[in-house]
């Protein structure tokens, strides 16, 4: 019997890509990182903040919310 193949259309691909780019929010993303890596929420939030600060200019154009993440003083 013939196997069923999954057909990907441009519309389905477009919907998938749009859902992948949705902004989930800082706290929700930090919670997801904490669960995935098995670390405390505080540490996950620090990882997310550090990666947000290192975001490229093109990433900041696509997601202006990255500009809201404040830096931490050196030595603190």
Q: What residue segments make up the domains of the chain, in order of their start?
A: 24-65
Secondary structure of the chain: what % helix, strand, coil (to 5)?
A: 60, 0, 40
Of residues 4 and 62, more confidence is placed in 62
Q: Across the chain, what does the average pLDDT equal? A: 79
Q: Which tens digits make up the pLDDT trace of 49-69?
A: 999 999 999 999 988 989 998
Given phi > 0 = left and psi -120 to 50 = alpha, else beta, which region is 52? alpha
Q: Tell me which of 63 and 22 has the higher pLDDT.
A: 63
């Amino acid at each position: 019997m013939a196997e069923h193949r999954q057909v990907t259309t441009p519309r389905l691909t477009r919907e998938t890509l749009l859902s992948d780019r949705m902004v989930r929010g800082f706290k929700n993303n930090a919670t997801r990182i904490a669960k995935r890596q098995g670390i405390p929420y505080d540490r996950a939030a620090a990882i997310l903040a550090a990666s947000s600060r290192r975001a490229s200019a093109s990433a900041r154009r696509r997601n202006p919310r990255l500009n809201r993440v404040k830096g931490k003083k050196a030595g603190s």
